Amino acid sequence: MAKNAKDKDDGYIPLMDRFKAWWEGIEPEAVVRAKSPDQATQPPAPSPAAIEVDIQESEGPLKSWPESRLSFCRRLWGEEFEVVRPGGTEFAVRLVRPMALTSENSLLDLSAGLGGGARQIHKELGIWVTGLERNPELAQHGAAISKAKGLDRKVPITAYEPNKVSLKPASFDGALIRETLYAIPEREAFLTKVAEAIRPFGHIVLTDLMLAKEVYRTDRAIGAWLKRDAADAAPDIVGSYAPLLESLGFDVRVEEDESDVYHSYVLQGWAAFVDGMSRDDLDRDFVSRMMIEAEYWVYLMRALQAGKVRLIRVHGIKKP
């Protein structure tokens, strides 16, 4: 970043163009030509892989949530919605709406994050939501936001460990689990506890990242994604959850591939983010954080586009 916009004549391509090229898997010159056809004869530019990243965290899973990452991801996925995952609050509300719950009902959200989705569910549908979040840092921030909004009773957010979570039997009318199960080793034991906490005729809706085929467990692209996700992540195979929920007493009404929707949420988030960047943003720390987050999503989106990973939605109703 030693050069500026005035230096284009020497073959330099701005970082935002190089980032777009890296993200899309194309040559940076193609981005320049698309923006300005008269620059088609420009000299070769630096490889997008040459974008330098300082933070060592890029070599392993993205586990911690320092303030720099929290601020970045809130900006990426929707600052005003207080979320740190694709789809904002829109996806959360859409997943819960078919449960047909009201202000007389209670919902257990086991993937609460900062609680933005849970608070929006309460706002739009009137449901009392108990938010649980695996990451203690996110849970702490989420609890503070709920308290600041006067929602610490109607939408409390607390941290939990899946293998130690204690849930009162038959205490909820619905449960929501978003993109979480694939990183929980003891999934069946965990879902058994959740099932016991749901009242008869209550609902469970889960979305999870799953492998299209068993053979993909050893796929290098899948390995690259999981290396940056969680050390204990081991996605299940598409079709695994319906029989498991049936065995736990649910009538599974929906098992649907939501990969295209999820893919569009991710692309929309990153497109809006990149378009909203200014030159003032591009200090070294910001660029490093951007590339680390983007690296994770590039690996996942390429696996999704190749059909190796799918995002599956399952909706079941507990039998009496």
What is the pLDDT, as a whole number, of residue 12?
Answer: 56
Give backbone dihedrals phi and psi of 13, rounded to 5 degrees, phi first. -115, 125
Total of domains in the chain:
2
Question: What's the domain range around 257?
Answer: 67-261+306-318
Q: Are residues 80 and 36 in the same domain?
A: no
* β partners of residue 315: 205, 254
In a domain, 130, yes or no: yes
What is the pLDDT, as a whole number, of residue 88?
Answer: 87
**Prediction pTM value:** 0.85
pLDDT tens for the chain, 320 residues long, are 444 444 444 455 666 666 767 666 666 666 667 766 554 444 444 343 344 444 444 455 677 888 889 999 999 998 778 999 999 899 999 999 999 999 999 999 999 999 999 999 999 999 999 999 999 999 999 999 999 999 999 999 999 999 999 999 999 999 999 999 999 999 999 999 999 999 999 999 999 999 999 999 999 989 989 988 876 789 999 999 999 999 999 999 999 999 999 999 998 999 888 888 888 887 888 888 888 899 899 899 989 999 999 999 999 999 99
Q: Are residues 136 and 236 in the same domain?
A: yes
Identify which of 40, 37, 34 has the alpha carbon closest to the alpha carbon of residue 20: 34
Identify which of 121, 129, 128 has the alpha carbon closest to the alpha carbon of residue 97: 121
Q: Are residues 155 and 201 in the same domain?
A: yes
What is the pLDDT, as a whole number, of residue 82?
Answer: 92
* β partners of residue 256: 313
What is the pLDDT, as a whole number, of residue 42?
Answer: 43
What is the pLDDT, as a whole number, of residue 61?
Answer: 64
231: region left, alpha or beta (phi > 0 left; psi from -120 to 50 alpha): alpha
* β partners of residue 311: 209
What is the pLDDT, as a whole number, of residue 24?
Answer: 67
Tokens of 52: 């330098």
Say if CB 228 and CB 296 are below 8 A apart.
Answer: yes
Q: Are residues 25 and 82 in the same domain?
A: no
Q: Which residues of 277-289 are buried (b: 16+ CB within 10 A; e: fewer)?
A: beeeeeeeeebbb
Identify which of 14, 2, 92 has the alpha carbon closest to the alpha carbon of residue 274: 14
What is the pLDDT, as a whole number, of residue 50?
Answer: 41
Q: Are residues 91 and 196 in the same domain?
A: yes
